[in-house]
Structure formats: C-alpha cells, structure tokens
Structure 1
C-alpha cells in the first residue's frame, strides 16, 4: 500500500472506498505523467492517463456532492487543486 493510500484509507485493507480509489488514481496519474514527459508519442499511455484523470474527476464530484467533509480532507491530503 502506497503512502497516499495509507493517509486516506478508512481501514487497513480499504481499496474500494472513494477516498482510496482517488488516492490510487492520483498515484497512477503521477506515474503516467512522468512517463508521458519522457515518451511524448506513446499514444496508448496518453489514453490511459486521460481515462484515469476523468475517473478521478468523477469520484471527486461524487465526494463533493455526498461527503463534503471527506472531499475537503482528500484535497488537502493529496494536494489536489479544485
């Protein structure tokens, strides 16, 4: 379990909550962004990056709508801007 996921997970084996999924996607987005800076013509990875960003955006919108305190908490812990 990575550091970001540990910060926001509800319990030790949490992988399904919205908060945990957002942390996982944030880590994936950072890795793919670094990869895309090296390999600009890698179209398959750019599609995966866009899918991950859109999925994280949907999860953040869900949190904002239903659990506003968790939404604010996750923005500060993961250093996301909204």
Structure 2
C-alpha cells in the first residue's frame, strides 16, 4: 500500500500550493517532502536496522533544509507562515 495516494497528494498541493495542479510551488514541495519524512520516520521506528531507508531519510531532510533556506531567502513572510503551518521549528 502506498504511503501517499493520489488524493492525499492532491490535498497537500491544494492546501499548500493553492490548487491541486500547482505541484511546482515551493510551499507544496516542502509540504510533500515533510509528509514523506514523517512517513519514513514511522517506518524507521518499527524497523530500526533499515539503514538504507535511514540514508534516504537523511537525504530528504537535507533537501527540505535547502528548500526552506531558499524560501527564507526569497519570501520571509511565507517562510514563517509555512513553518507555523507545518509545525517544523519549535
């Protein structure tokens, strides 16, 4: 069973990107990577020795970090709103 169905992806894009077809917006990309990170984190809590998935998780965290840095540099108000909405930094 896939962790993200088409409906769930469309919902994420509609919520964060403005519409279900706006997959290129930086907010939608960050939200999608965050959803993947949470899914993989749940998997790794049950499968502690899955090192290849752990490496993939670290790559996704780095990708999200780069996307957030880009957004912070170009749209500070949007960055702060997205951080609050996704509950990333505490």
TM-score using structure 2 length: 0.82
Q: CA RMSD in A?
A: 1.4
Contact kept in structure 2, 1:7 and 1:77, CA below 8 Å = no
Unaligned runs of 5+ in 2: 1-6
Corresponding residue number in structure 1 for 2:63? 55
TM-score using structure 1 length: 0.90
- Could you tell me how far apart the structure 2 residues matched to 1:15 and 1:21 are? 7
Contact kept in structure 2, 1:4 and 1:23, CA below 8 Å = yes
Residue 42 in structure 1 maps to residue 50 in structure 2: yes
- Could you tell me how far apart the structure 1 residues matched to 2:17 and 2:24 are? 9
- Could you tell me how far apart the structure 2 residues matched to 1:7 and 1:18 are? 13
